[in-house]
Structure formats: C-alpha cells, structure tokens
Amino acid sequence: MNQKPSNAFIAAAWIALGIGMIGFIVGLWRSDMLLNEKGYYFAVLMFGLFAVISLQKAVRDKLEGIPVTEIYYGISWFCTILTITLLIIGLWNAELLPSEKGFYGISFILALFGAIAVQKNTRDSQNFNKSQQLN
C-alpha cells in the first residue's frame, strides 16, 4: 500500500531539519571557538546528515526487496554511529558551557531526525505518485 505523507508531516520534517541545521550553524557562527573547531563541528554535521540519509535509504531498500550490498549497509550504519560518536567526543572535550554542549547535541540530533524524515517523505511521495500513474 502506497500512502502519501500528510502535508503536516512533510512540513514538520522540513521544519525539524531546518531548525536543527540552522540552529547548529548559527551557534557555530556566533561561538568563540577557533576556526578549526568550527570546521570540525560543521564537518561532523554535514557527514552526519549524509550518513543518516544513506542509512535510511539502505534500510528502506532492504525492506522493499531492493538489493543492497552488505558492505554498503554496514558502512551506512558505521558512518551514522561514527558521526554521533565524534560529536559526543568533541563536545565532551570542548571547553564550552554545559548549556552550549546541550544545544549542539540537541540541534545535531534534531537535524539528523529531520533529514531522515525528509528522505522518508520524499521517497513515500515518489512511490505514491508512481502508483497513481499506474492506476
């Protein structure tokens, strides 16, 4: 059964992605960190977004019977876990206030969740449109 995601869920996913990414990036922009520290956290965010989108696609492909190599599936999981671990290690060792560490952690997780939800909605919408064309 192909069901189109509701407009409310599509909007919520995009809002979560936007708030998470923009909040994280604005936090970096306004911080007193050195440029190399800002670069580290920005790279972890971008890598994390790519990793979770890749993981969501690989998991979904497997569920739908679309061939996915085990190495790609494993790398997708590894990269997702690695980005979260890198953020935790970076924040643990950072000379930031606990509230700042919490802000970066929450905005990072919100951005990852938003990216997964946007990817899911995009795929569901495409599948729905394809099934409508066939009918």
pLDDT at 45: 98
pLDDT at 89: 97
pLDDT at 7: 93
105-130 b/e (C-beta count within 10 Å ≥ 16 → b): eebbebbbebbbbbbbbebbeeeeee
pLDDT at 1: 60
pLDDT at 44: 98
Q: Which residues in the chain show pLDDT less than 70? A: 1, 135
Q: pTM of the full predicted structure?
A: 0.90
Rounded to the nearest 10°, the torsion over CA 46, 52, 58, 60 is -140
pLDDT at 132: 79
